Amino acid sequence: MKYCSTRGGVEGLSFTDSLLMGLASDGGLLVPETIPDISNRIDELRGLDFVSLAQEIIALYADDIERDTLDQLIAEAYATFSHPDVVGWQQLGDVALLELFHGPTLAFKDVALQLLGRLFEYVLEQRGEHLNILGATSGDTGSAAIAGVRGQPNIDIFILYPNHKVSPLQELQMTTVADDNVHCVAVEGSFDDCQGLMKEIFADLEFKSQYQLGAVNSVNWARVMAQIVYYGYASLRAPTAPSFCVPTGNFGNVFAAYLARQMGFPIGRLLVATNENDILARFFECGVYARGDVHFTLSPAMDIQVASNFERFLYYYFEQDSARLAAFMAEFQNTGRASIGAPPASDSMLAVSINTEQTLAAIKHAYEQHNYVLDPHSAVGYAAAGLFAQRVDTPIVCVATAHPAKFPDAVQRAVPGVHARHPTLDALSGLTPRKQVIEPTLDAVKAVIEAGVE
Ligand SMILES: *Cc1c(COP(=O)(O)O)cnc(C)c1O
């Protein structure tokens, strides 16, 4: 499998090269040159457990790593999960819930990042190289990325996050990791500021190569790849082709669902659930992608206006026309607004925005009707599934993206008296946090990296 950039300036990369490149050097995102078709292997794949299915799917994309080695890295990555099937499955009335939060940091990001850390380690050792990972997090990516690479000799990791805008527990999950190769950087700004700074640094190719920078955000293709697996797995487990309802921020997770469907897994519609940061919901309604103000909500991992993975979706929507995509992105970059002229032609993807009141009501409903405690991100999806139910004639599977114990305050607000807890998080209190606070400028971030590397 070879990889190319959505903007047309990079092509013919191997999987391991694309793993290390992260963001494509022309500013676009890396995608596989073709999407493998598994539609004639459904019966064979249906019988597999999660890890075996992951090995089959990932081998199609990561074909420059020897198969035995790859299988072993995948098995090790998912051995860190506490659920025997890696992912959990719950039925809440008509809606099924696919629990993706049984990894070490209790959010779905572990599914990709436990594997990514091991892939990096393996490839760097093979090549005798060192990597400085730079990531921006709205909360969950940071701790999951840190958990994936902590203590690894060939990697330093720098995580930018908006100061005071991730939950206190999420911050502790990052800042209490004692390994020397972990650098937590609190930026006085929003998540979009952090992501913007990261993009600017990756665009500075001289700095990027001087400091051997790599990416763990969902701009990294390997993350999307790993996430395809659970959509395939769940689609084969449902009695008939399900539609997936996905609480969405950067569009990485729902884009993985899109690819699973393109590969031939039996999947109905894709239901995109956003919080009040509704740029995607507006796009699917009217075809205009227009930046709005960032709202800070109960689901901070989705407080994103500019969804980096949306570019990958548009690339396929534009039938892999890089010139058209590049023009669209340039217009958006310059004016904060770009349009495809009309609402998207297909209704295979639907989107809706869910407000705070609806989110709280969804947590309350799941608790009162099904004795199940949802985290506020999963609740956005669950609320959306309720709205979509009349428009969709397939079963709906909602993805549950975080354990409720990560967001105890939102749970308390929705269902007073219910304390969402988890031993992993209880163990954090009393540990000493370590962080640096910086202004949201390029120079400040570069200074942190330069100092950390020395
Ligand atoms: C990251 C995250 C999301 C959003 O996922 P995207 O891939 O950015 O769309 C949703 N919920 C939780 C808990 C997250 O951590």
Q: Ligand 1 mean position to 376 CA, how many Å? A: 11
Q: Please work out whether the CB of residue 253 comes within 6 Å of at least one atom of ligand 1.
A: yes
Q: Judging by DSSP bridges, how do beta strands 396-400 and 243-247 pair with one another?
A: parallel
| Per-domain boundaries in the chain | 88-107+221-423
Residue nearest to atom 2 of ligand 1 (CA): 301
| pLDDT beyond 80 at 191 | yes
| Residue with token string 């999407």 | 35
Angle at CA of residue 306, ends 304 and 311, nearest 5°: 130
Using DSSP's 3-state secondary structure scheme, residue 220 falls into coil
Q: Please work out whether the CB of residue 247 comes within 6 Å of at least one atom of ligand 1.
A: yes
> DSSP for 165-218?
-S-HHHHHHHHT---TTEEEEEESS-HHHHHHHHHHHHH-HHHHHHTTEEE-ST
Mutate to test the pocket of ligand 1, among 377, 399, 406, 407 (most ligand atoms within 8 A of CB): 377
Q: Please work out whether the CB of residue 183 comes within 6 Å of at least one atom of ligand 1.
A: no
Q: Average pLDDT in the 162-168 region?
A: 88
Which residues are catalytic, by number? 109
Q: Which helix (H) or strand (E) holds 237?
A: helix 221-237
Q: Are 128 and 171 in contact (CB under 8 A)?
A: no
pTM of the model: 0.94
| Residue with token string 């607000």 | 413
Q: Please work out whether the CB of residue 274 comes within 6 Å of at least one atom of ligand 1.
A: no
Ligand 1 atom nearest residue 140's Cα: 15
* Spatial distance between the Cα atoms of 23 and 29, rounded to a whole number of angstroms: 6
Which among 340, 297, 298, 296 is positioned nearest to 321, based on CA atoms? 340
- Which numeric CATH code is attached to 88-107+221-423? 3.40.50.1100
Encoded amino acid at 106, one letter: L
Encoded amino acid at 241, one letter: A
341: left (phi over 0), alpha (psi -120 to 50) or beta: left
Q: Are 232 and 267 in contact (CB under 8 A)?
A: no
Q: How confident is the model at residue 261 (pLDDT cuts 50, 70, 90)?
A: very high
Q: Kindly state the tokens that stand for 374.
A: 């949802």
Q: Please work out whether the CB of residue 55 comes within 6 Å of at least one atom of ligand 1.
A: no
> DSSP for 36-96?
---GGGHHHHHT--HHHHHHHHHHHH-TTS-HHHHHHHHHHHHHT-SSTTSSEEEEETTEE
| pLDDT beyond 90 at 23 | no
pLDDT of residue 346: 78
Using DSSP's 3-state secondary structure scheme, residue 290 falls into strand
CA Rg value for the chain: 20
Mean residue pLDDT of the chain comes to 94
Q: Ligand 1 mean position to 377 CA, how many Å? A: 8
Which among 85, 89, 101, 100 is positioned nearest to 52, based on CA atoms? 85
* Spatial distance between the Cα atoms of 383 and 417, rounded to a whole number of angstroms: 22
* Spatial distance between the Cα atoms of 70 and 77, rounded to a whole number of angstroms: 11
Q: How confident is the model at residue 453 (pLDDT cuts 50, 70, 90)?
A: confident
Mutate to test the pocket of ligand 1, among 101, 106, 108 (most ligand atoms within 8 A of CB): 108
Q: Ligand 1 mean position to 378 CA, how many Å? A: 9
- Write the pLDDT tens digit of every residue in 269-326: 999 999 999 999 999 999 999 998 889 899 988 988 888 899 999 999 999 999 999 9
Q: Ligand 1 mean position to 109 CA, how many Å? A: 7
- Write the pLDDT tens digit of every residue in 44-94: 999 999 999 999 999 999 999 999 999 999 999 999 999 999 999 999 999
Q: Kindly state the tokens that stand for 167.
A: 């939950």
Q: Ligand 1 mean position to 44 CA, how many Å? A: 31
Using DSSP's 3-state secondary structure scheme, residue 157 falls into strand
Ligand 1 atom nearest residue 247's Cα: 10
Q: Average pLDDT in the 242-257 region?
A: 96
Helices vs strands, H then E, count in the chain: 19, 15
Mutate to test the pocket of ligand 1, among 283, 401, 406 (most ligand atoms within 8 A of CB): 401
pLDDT of residue 430: 84
Q: Ligand 1 mean position to 355 CA, how many Å? A: 16
Q: Kindly state the tokens that stand for 160.
A: 């930018």
Q: Please work out whether the CB of residue 252 comes within 6 Å of at least one atom of ligand 1.
A: yes
